[in-house]
Structure formats: structure tokens, C-alpha cells
């Protein structure tokens, strides 16, 4: 009989007993963020209602498009502010 101790199983057991230890890994916008568990590497994101949901490929694509739109918006606002301060 062979005994195997898998690190993933041990960390999953830890998370099952004590709960996940999430760390924010990516800030997409002010309201949308991505989180990863430090132990079992489970990834979550916030959905449209602000609740945590599993980070599937669909949500990864949505978050990347949302981040691109958000960064473009912030750049436009920054340009507009600098234009207004120089014109005044």
C-alpha cells in the first residue's frame, strides 16, 4: 500500500476546515477585483451584483475587456483635466 501526501490535498483540507485566505491579485475597476486563495490557489472575482464568484474563462475575458475600457476612460479623464487646468 502506497501512501501519497499531495500538497494540493493538504491545502484543500486546510481551506475546508478553516476557510479560504483570499488575497486581492488584480484590481480591474473600483468595484471589480480578482482574488486568489493563498493556500489552494482558487480564483474568484466579483460579479455584477458585487458577490464573489468563481473566475471562469468567461469572467476572465469580461474582466480583461472591462479593464481595457476602464483604463481608456481614465486616460480620457486625465487628458481632459490637464487640458482644463492649462486653459484656465
Question: Is 1 within a domain?
Answer: no
Domain membership of residue 49 as a residue range:
21-87
- Whether residue 53 contacts residue 47, with contact meaning beta carbons closer than 8 Å, is answered with yes
For residues 55 and 45, give the distance between their C-alpha atoms in angstroms, rounded to a whole number: 6
Q: Which residue has the higher pLDDT, 84 or 81?
A: 81
Q: Structurally, how many domains does the chain consist of?
A: 1
CA angle 38, 42, 43 (to 5 degrees): 105
Question: Is 57 within a domain?
Answer: yes
Question: Is 15 within a domain?
Answer: no
Beta-ladder partners of 35: 24, 44
Question: Is 80 within a domain?
Answer: yes
Question: Is 16 within a domain?
Answer: no
pLDDT tens-digit readout, 2-13: 555 565 577 788
pLDDT tens-digit readout, 22-78: 999 999 999 999 999 999 999 999 998 999 999 999 999 999 999 999 999 999 999
Question: Is 4 within a domain?
Answer: no
Beta-ladder partners of 43: 36
Q: Which residue has the higher pLDDT, 21 or 82?
A: 21
Question: Is 55 within a domain?
Answer: yes
Amino acid at each position: 500500500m502506497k501512501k501519497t501526501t499531495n500538497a494540493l490535498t493538504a491545502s484543500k483540507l486546510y481551506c475546508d476546515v478553516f476557510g479560504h485566505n483570499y488575497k486581492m491579485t488584480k484590481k480591474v475597476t473600483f468595484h471589480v477585483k480578482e482574488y486568489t486563495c493563498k493556500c489552494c490557489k482558487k480564483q474568484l472575482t466579483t460579479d455584477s451584483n458585487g458577490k464573489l464568484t468563481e473566475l471562469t474563462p468567461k469572467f476572465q475575458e469580461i474582466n480583461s475587456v472591462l479593464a481595457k475600457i476602464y483604463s481608456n476612460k481614465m486616460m480620457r479623464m486625465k487628458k481632459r483635466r490637464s487640458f482644463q487646468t492649462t486653459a484656465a
